[in-house]
Amino acid sequence: MKSAYLTLGLPGNAAQEDIEEALKKATAHYSHAHLAEHPQDLARLQEIREAYKILSSAEMRAAHDRKLANTVKAVAPPPRIVIEEATPPWYSKPLNVMVLVMFSLFAIGGYMNYSRNQVQKAKLAQEQMEQKAAAENAARAAAEEAQNNAEKARQQAEHVAQEQRLRIESNMAMRNAAYADAAQQAAFNRQLDSERREAQRKEAEIRSQERQNAQEAQRRLAADQQRIRELCYQQYRKTQC
């Protein structure tokens, strides 16, 4: 069961003055303004008042204390302690130690033989890799030389073609300069007109949003006032607290 002492935050031997003070603090905390903003705390305030009602009455408090005492669980019996005899370690037997030493010697010999074979394989692989790298380097050098000769011929041809393109593009640029200036000015004028219309639209939207916010605030205020009246009526049977 739920303790009335815990609800009021008091010890089990609290005096009547402590109970009265706890109720005053709770009532001051859960004021009408607080309940208007946090209506879910109304149930908490009701629990506090019920706990105060129980503890302020001597008979109800005694009955409440008896119920709390009946809910205390019995103390569990102490656990049994079983002591088992420890098993001797494996290395306490000489035969096990000898088998382990022989196995270690065989393992070390096998590992050393395996290491020698791996070193020989690595040396052979290294020699093969060096021969392959030398052949690849020679082929790469020949290919790079042929590529350089082809690149020089291509660059020379591109240089001649680029000079021709530059002369053509220079003539076209001079003819298009006037058209570009006119088009840029027209685009600038259209941009200014578009920005002006966009600014007017945003201003109208802002005014509309402000009106909507004001209406929404009035609706929320009316709803909050109605909720306060309902809470006051539920608590005190009055529409005004």
pTM strictly above 0.85? no
- Name every residue whose Cβ is closer than 8 Å to that of residue 96 and which is 6 or more positions away in sequence: 90
- What does the domain layout of the chain look like in residue ranges? 4-71, 94-215
User: Along the 241 residues of the chain, how does pLDDT read in single tens digits?
Assistant: 688 888 888 888 889 999 999 889 988 999 989 988 988 989 988 999 998 999 888 899 898 899 988 875 433 344 443 333 445 555 566 676 677 777 677 678 777 777 777 888 887 888 888 888 888 888 888 888 888 888 988 898 888 888 888 889 888 888 888 788 888 888 888 998 889 999 899 999 999 999 999 899 899 988 888 888 888 878 777 766 5
Q: What is the CATH number of domain 4-71?
A: 1.10.287.110
